[in-house]
Amino acid sequence: MPAEDGSRSRATLHEVAAQADVSVSTVSKVLNGRSGVSDETRARIEALLQDHRYQQRTAKRPAAPLIDVLCYEVDSPFGSEVVASIEQSARQRRIGMVLTGATEQSTPYEHWLDDVLRRQPVGVVLIACKLSADDRQRLRSRNIPLVMVDPAGTPAPDVPSIGSADWNGGYQATRHLIDLGHTRIGIITGPTDMMASTARLSGYRAALDSAGLSSEPELIRPGHFHHADGLEQGRALLQLPDRPTAIFASSDLYALGVYEAARSLGMTIPGDLSVVGYDDLRIAQWAGPPLTTVHVPLVAMAEQAVHLVMRLGDEPELAFSRIDIDTTLVVRASTAPIRAS
Residues that bind a second copy (CB under 8 A): 33-34, 63-64, 66, 68, 74-75, 77, 79-81, 83-84, 87-88, 91, 94, 96-101, 109, 111, 115, 118-120, 227, 253, 256-257, 259-260, 263, 282-283, 285-286, 288-290
Backbone φ, ψ for residue 303 (5° rounding): -60, -45
Residue 198 and residue 210 in contact, taking contact as beta carbons nearer than 8 Å: no
Closest to a second copy by CB, 1 or 228: 228
Question: What is the DSSP secondary-structure string of 114-144?
Answer: HHHHHH--SEEEEES----HHHHHHHHHTT-
Could you tell me the smallest distance in angstroms from the CB atom of residue 60 to a second copy? 14
Closest to a second copy by CB, 226 or 243: 226
Could you tell me the smallest distance in angstroms from the CB atom of residue 320 to a second copy? 30
Closest to a second copy by CB, 101 or 313: 101
Could you tell me the smallest distance in angstroms from the CB atom of residue 111 to a second copy? 6
Closest to a second copy by CB, 170 or 230: 230
Closest to a second copy by CB, 122 or 253: 253
Could you tell me the smallest distance in angstroms from the CB atom of residue 206 to a second copy? 31
Contacts of 159 by beta carbon, 8 Å cutoff, 6+ apart: 136, 146, 147, 148, 151, 319
Closest to a second copy by CB, 81 or 166: 81
Could you tell me the smallest distance in angstroms from the CB atom of residue 281 to a second copy? 9
Give the full edge-to-edge strand order of the sheet including 328-330: 220-221, 185-188, 246-249, 274-279, 292-295, 328-330
Could you tell me the smallest distance in angstroms from the CB atom of residue 176 to a second copy? 23
Residue 148 and residue 306 in contact, taking contact as beta carbons nearer than 8 Å: no
Could you tell me the smallest distance in angstroms from the CB atom of residue 315 to a second copy? 26
Query: CA-based angle 269:275:278, to the nearest 5?
Result: 140
Closest to a second copy by CB, 79 or 160: 79
Backbone φ, ψ for residue 328 (5° rounding): -135, 150
Q: For residue 151, say if its preceding peptide bond is cis, omega within 30 degrees of 0.
A: no
Q: Cα separations (Å) of 135 from 71, 219, 292, 302, 304?
A: 16, 39, 40, 23, 23
